Structure 1
Amino acid sequence: MVWFETILVLLTLLTGLIWLLDRLFFAKRRAAAAAAGEAKDPALVDYAKSFFPVLALVLGLRSFVAEPFRIPSSSMMPTLLIGDFILVNKFSYGLRLPINNKKFFAIGEPQRGDVVVFRPPQHPREDWIKRVIGLPGDHIGYHDHKVSVNGQVLPYRVEGVYTGVGQGQGETGDNQLTEGLPGHPHFVLEREFSMADGDWAVPAGHYFVMGDNRGNSEDSRFWGFLPEANLRGKAFMVWMNFDASADHWVDVSRIGTRIP
């Protein structure tokens, strides 16, 4: 949510500037007047002193430590459900400035299988979530529901027919399989028809990402490669689930679930 981040940054700067200007130019005069019992902090300054530390802390945590996101679609089912609230590690792939997302301190790079939050090139003001399948230099294939990485078809194990809940009921009847991505085995959903078969060579500085719901995900098969500069962070945990259309609005069993 770029608008929320922008508002948070502006409020932090505004309250900090008011506090600083008061300390530099006006606080001493009021202190002298206060000695005579005649002055106190103006309401605007008082509010700035109260809110600036809180806003600065929230901005720092969201920008450089962890940020909450809500899953709005079914593209990552069954791993992530509509209504899941997740935490995203903001320093896994380097520290980035708020709003423009420019990296200023490199730490690490995405690994194959990571679930990442990013801003897609075609919707730069939105945050999306997918799984990294292809790294720079990889050759990725997708044919007959199966992914191949550098010529090796990933192993699959059929788990049965999926039953969706709440807003995910539309995925009921899909086949659920375990995809044996090395180091990151995970569930995927597939439908009888295969979507967007093809082969892709991942260029330098880019990644090939896919949703775990292979029959209902707008991903690199359709819009191309994800630039490294668009990464926001690595998703690692579900901290809440709320779906008003489900039998139980809050699924407590998902709280604390690690994202494989």
Structure 2
Amino acid sequence: MSDNAKKYAGDSVKKDESGLWETIKVIIQALLIAVVVRTLLFQPFNIPSGSLIPTLLIGDYLFVSKYSYGYSKHSIPFSPPLFSGRIFGSMPKRGDIVVFKLPKDNSTDYIKRVVGLPGDKIQVIGGVLHINGKPIQRERVEDYQTTDLYGRTISVPRYKETFPEGTTHYVIERDGDRGYWDNTNVYTVQPGHYFMMGDNRDNSTDSRDEANVGQVPAENLVGRAEIIFFSIDENASLWRPWEWPGYIRWNRMFERIR
């Protein structure tokens, strides 16, 4: 091989190595940016259950703001024990929909609505939520179409609830006002804890169930649900992507969560 040919081959190898290294650097930088965004700003989250119907549906994909309540170890992927408590923390507002780590195992992601703040007394009487001994305003509106335990379509009572602060949202009572959690004892929310409930009141495992969820420590808060960026019907088949356009809920795209 001539000297020129050797030089050309050497230059080609160097260019290939340089191109590969540049590609690796771009991938590393992209991963670092993704980790920073997920840790400090926004985390995507999908809704796997119907506990927040009618506000959130199975198949909704949403962004959760990580900065809303400050940061804890649970803000970081895999919750490494780097520190305890929260930094740059702020208190959730009643009515916020929050993603949190289940206190029972500190790893499972749950999403519910904040109904009780530290020091509040929470009770459900005849399906009506009471806060500090007073029933919240509840107005019956048009029934909601959902499914029962057997997958059959049914109409269930829907209510517009108004919290003492004036914020409103909708809930459904699949079993009327005679569900298992429609009459409870009084829960006193502990300091530094929050009381969570689902909007699908008869189909939600939440703070009313002290054995499985209970009150949520501030450290377990992950972030506040902000906006739905994608939504697809739960009946869409993973193996039939050509059918997906017909199952996408276009009217829910980029809907603010309240």
Residue of structure 2 in register with 1:17 after alignment: none
2:224 is equivalent to residue 239 of structure 1: no
Structure 2 Cα separation of the partners of residues 220 and 83 of structure 1? 24
Name the amino acid aligned to 1:241.
S
Check 1:225–1:107 CA distance in 2 against 1; reply closer, same or farther (3 A cut): closer
What is the TM-score normalised by the length of structure 1? 0.78
Name the amino acid aligned to 2:123.
G
Map 1:60-209; keep pairs closer than 5 Å: 60-95=36-71, 96-100=75-79, 105-164=87-146, 172-181=154-163, 182-190=165-173, 191-192=175-176, 193-196=178-181, 197-209=184-196
User: How many equivalent residue pairs?
Assistant: 226
1:155-195, Cα deviation, whole Å (9 max, x unpaired): 10001321138x99657322100011133210001122232
Check 1:244–1:79 CA distance in 2 against 1; reply closer, same or farther (3 A cut): closer
2:219 is equivalent to residue 229 of structure 1: yes
Map 1:15-54; keep pairs closer than 5 Å: 37=11, 39=14, 41=17, 45-54=21-30
Secondary structure of 2:146's counterpart equals coil
Structure 2 gaps of 5+ residues are 1-9, 237-242
**Structure 2 counterpart of 1:220, from 189, 204, 207:** 207
Please tell me whether the aligned partners of residues 52 and 199 of structure 2 are also in contact (alpha carbons under 8 angstroms). Answer: yes
Structure 2 Cα separation of the partners of residues 177 and 63 of structure 1? 36
Q: Quick one: percent identity of the two aligned structures?
A: 34
What is the TM-score normalised by the length of structure 2? 0.79
Please tell me whether the aligned partners of residues 241 and 254 of structure 1 are also in contact (alpha carbons under 8 angstroms). Answer: yes
Please tell me whether the aligned partners of residues 97 and 104 of structure 1 are also in contact (alpha carbons under 8 angstroms). Answer: no
1:3-45, Cα deviation, whole Å (9 max, x unpaired): xxxxxxxxxxxxxxxxxxxxxxxxxxxxxxxxx8474537874
Structure 1 position 150, deviation (Å): 1.0
Structure 1 gaps of 5+ residues are 1-35
1:188-220, Cα deviation, whole Å (9 max, x unpaired): 011222322221000011110000000000000
Residue of structure 2 in register with 1:24 after alignment: none
Name the amino acid aligned to 2:225.
A
Structure 2 Cα separation of the partners of residues 159 and 76 of structure 1? 17
Structure 2 Cα separation of the partners of residues 123 and 161 of structure 1? 36
Secondary structure of 1:137's counterpart equals coil
Name the amino acid aligned to 1:84.
D
1:122-158, Cα deviation, whole Å (9 max, x unpaired): 2432211000000111111111111111111101000
Structure 2 Cα separation of the partners of residues 138 and 250 of structure 1? 40
Structure 1 Cα separation of the partners of residues 50 and 152 of structure 2? 9
